[in-house]
Structure 1
Amino acid sequence: MTSNSTFVIVGASLTGAKAAEHLRAEGFDGRIVMIGAETELPYERPPLSKDFLRGEAEASSAFVHDQAFYDDNHIELRLGTKVETINITTRTVAASGMEPLEYDKLLIATGARSRKLNLPGSDLPGVHYLRSLEDSKQLHDALGSAKRLAVVGAGWIGSEVAASARQMGVEVTLIDMASTPIQAVVGPEVGAVFADLHREHGVDLRLNETIESFLGTDRVTGVRTGSGDIDADLIVVGVGATPRVELAEAAGLAVDNGIVTDEFLQTAIDGVYAAGDVVSAKNLGIGKHLRVEHWANAGVHGELAAKNMVGKPTAYENVPFFFSDQYDLGLEYCGYPTPWDRVVYRGDPATREFIAFWLAGDRVVAAMNVNVWDVNDDLQAIIGADKPADDARLADPDVPLSEVLAR
């Protein structure tokens, strides 16, 4: 594309920022306009439940780039600006406080929002969700004066918030419908590792529980579950996220658990792309459409979108990846939740220093290294190879990971 072209990015997110960065890296010298509703520079989300939440890092440490980067690369940031409509016929974007903006190519990177609970008392002061930098700031301040925190949802966000709150000295109750934390992703067997971890750090786990309401009159005072009331002066709800697809739907784009794209992150409309948490993209490596809400995927999508927008076709085939830190446990996970029939361990889960492999038949569909480092590239290669795996070789520490699939 020439310098006369205008590329518009809707969503000043990690995905949007990486897309703008790689558009310049790929040689695009036209106009780039990135529009975002938040007033902060584009930022990464992992610190929001970890060191930033605990007050151990400044907000600027989460920024993808500083202001100088955008200035030096002539990337126009329109922050604090809400996009109101996308018109795919006139190829324009309308936003608050702006004249309609014509685009040659468009990237929608509007992300996702926290899934809200619609229960009695859910709008009481003291009930928090964690999605944005501002959410994390407010929760940090609230934790500073809280005595008892109840976390509803023991997925990744809920578990990380529980760990951070305990490290800040707050009493924590962690509540979930499943029998172990993070069960939807890792299953009950590996989930038991996290249950033991949280109990050892003083978390009161309430599992196999349902939430009926939040208690309180002027401010939340607890949670009512199917088995009784739990006192708390602060609540965090972490029960997933939903993609922000309203603009795309109104524009007439296909939506199915996210904006639907092909393997090049392009919608059915030529020149209109979508990436990040908001997209359900065809992944050639996994063999189906995926919507992935993790940090690594957001960055990868930004780079891929940029390459495809400048006419360098690059398919989405990456093995999904994410990481988590809870207390002194660090992990990296790759693969995609899919039906599996068994878990094979290299190392002893009781020591919290192991690798877990999830298998469906003779294929490794996911893997996780826990307090074992510099192995994730090998694990991603095992999954991406889509070759038969032998349980004994996977479990044997004397067989290099790079050779476990050898015959």
Structure 2
Amino acid sequence: MSDLTSSFDHVIVGGGVAADMAARSIHEKAPAATIAILSADADGPVYRPALTKDLWHGEDPDPASQDLHTAEETGAELRTATSVTALDPAARTVTTAAGDTIGYGTLLLATGASPRRLGDGEDQRVAYLRTVADYRHLRDLVQDGTRVAVVGGGYLGTEIAAGLAHAGAEVTLHHTGRVILEHMFPDSITSHLTEVFEQHGITLVGGFRLAGIDAGEHLTLTAEDGRSAAADIAVLGLGAQLANDLARSAGLEMDGDSVVVDAQLRTSAEGVWAAGDIIRFTDPLLGDRHVEHVDHAWASGTTAGTNMAGGQEAYDYTPLFYSDLFDDGYEAIGHLDTSLEMLEVWSEDRSAAVVHYLDGEQVAGILLWNTWDSVPTAREVMAASRAGRLRREELPAQIAPGG
């Protein structure tokens, strides 16, 4: 049995940024309240984006540098490596895999997501990157010249490939498309990124749909079309699977795989809130949507925690997302979908751009490529466009590329 007390004013299930921010908001609004954080991860909350960004490119590769110090700064009782297996909203209790039953006044589900895995078999040379333990494992495997096959040419796959190349690995990036990130960026940017990745020694292999991995003396990756590739290590970026089992088994209202929440991030169960990756919420600009990025976790965790402690704040926010790829970087809001019409505005030297993604006459998303401190303006542009106050011919003058 654990040494947790049997009941807390507030219980948070999950150990990411949303959990950290919720605990901070609760503690700020109700300093005397008792808080428990139950996390399945072996490590406490960290700034998780660093696992594919700063820890590979910065001066300090130790994940301890990204510790959020949640327990020390909020007074929460943090229990890591603790899986919650059942939620009973009527009794206001949760049950852990160890058999402990813990009562709560309010509960936050911030369970996030886990990597989609290839089959049931496990080999230590096949890695995923979601937790601190995953990062440590991958770091231990990589040496100068290690042949690494990264599978997945999306947001995380490209970041991981860039990080591994910086660490000295011999990287091949296998992806399903014609070019990397083709679902997000126009050809002007994807062609530039192709050159940049190749200049950093990364081999790009398109049209590669992974069918399986043979774990012999070396790993052999086989594509659906019969092609094969050898590697010492494979890192799979096959997308994420929402950790929604607890919510679903407790009978919470769901929309597909996502937990439905109201404007204050309350679920359909009395006393239960949800935040971060797992929720479907109402974006003030884009309506009902689901987002899996740290800015959303940060903001929704903050709002949920405030409301758990008695607040009545609406989650009235359009999250941003961002990435850095070698010397390039971007911030973005909304839908970056190349099936939409794209209006590109470039700086004179072609080093920076603002890309508007148009759904008819309305802006559905904005990419700020090497353009900084412009997210608030981008939100204003989207709002004005969607309200009919800004015509498409007026868009190029709204945000200066490279700002």
The answer, yes or no, to whether TM exceeds 0.5 is: yes
AA partner of residue 401 (structure 1): I
Shift of 1:337: 4.5
When normalised by structure 1's length, the TM-score is: 0.88
Residue aligning to 2:260:
260
Q: Call closer, same or farther: CA 1:318–1:240 in 2, change over 3 Å.
A: same
Q: Distance in 2 between matches of 1:43 and 1:349?
A: 39
Say if 2:117 is the partner of 1:116: yes
Tell me the distance in 1 between the aligned counterparts of 2:270 and 2:244.
Answer: 18
Aligned counterpart, 2:85: 84
Structure 1 letter corresponding to 2:208: E
1:366 maps to a residue whose letter is: G
Residues 264 and 312, structure 2, Cα contact 8 Å, conserved in 1: yes
Gap runs ≥5 in structure 1: 403-407
Q: Which runs of 5+ in 2 are unaligned?
A: 1-6
- Once the two structures are overlaid, the 10-residue window that deviates more, 213-222 or 305-314, is 213-222
Deviations 1:156-190 (A, max 9, x none): 11001111112222221111112222233335564
341-350 vs 20-29, which moves further:
341-350
Instruction: Judge conservation of contact 2:144–2:167 (CA < 8 Å) in 1.
Output: no
- Report the number of matched residues: 390
Conserved 8 A contact 2:70-2:76 = no
Moved more, 80-89 or 308-317: 308-317
2: distance between equivalents of 1:145 and 1:225? Answer: 30
Would the aligned equivalents of 1:43 and 1:64 in 2 still touch at CA under 8 Å? yes
- Specify the alignment match of 2:269 in structure 1: 269
Alignment of 1:137-286 (within 5 A): 137-144=136-143, 147-186=146-185, 190-224=189-223, 226=225, 228-255=227-254, 256-286=256-286
Residue equivalent to 2:3: none
- TM value normalised by structure 2: 0.89
Give the Å deviation of 1:246: 1.0
Distance 2:103 2:215 in 1: 50
The alignment partner of 1:52 has SS state of helix
Alpha-carbon spacing, 1:401–1:51, altered in 2? closer, same or farther (3 Å): closer
Q: 1:349 to 1:156 in 2, by over 3 A?
A: farther
Alpha-carbon RMSD: 2.5
On the 8 A contact 1:180/1:194 being kept in 2, the answer is no
> Distance between the aligned counterparts of 1:326 and 1:338, measured in 2?
19
**Shift of residue 304, structure 1, vs aligned partner:** 1.1
**Within 1, Cα distance between the matches of 2:235 and 2:146?**
14
Deviations 1:57-112 (A, max 9, x none): 2222222226531xxx3211122222121111211111244642111111011110
CA 139–351 in structure 1, closer or farther in 2 if over 3 Å, else same:
farther
CA distance in 1, matches of 2:123, 2:348: 40
Aligned to 1:405: none
Q: Deviations over 1:244-300 (max 9, x none)?
A: 011111111123222221222111112111111122223343211x22110101100
2:305 equivalent in structure 1: 306
Q: Is the 8 A contact 2:261 2:281 kept in 1?
A: yes
CA contact (8 A) 1:223 1:232 kept: no
Give 2:107's aligned residue: 106
Report the alpha carbon displacement of residue 370 of structure 1 after superposing the two structures with TM. 1.7
Counterpart of 2:42 in structure 1 is 39
Which range moved further: 279-288 or 152-161?
279-288
Residue aligned with 1:325, SS? strand
Deviation at 1:339, TM superposition (A): 7.8
Write the mapping of 1:385-396 to structure 2, written as runs, cut at 5 A.
385=384, 386-388=386-388, 389-395=390-396
| 1:94 corresponding residue in structure 2 | 95
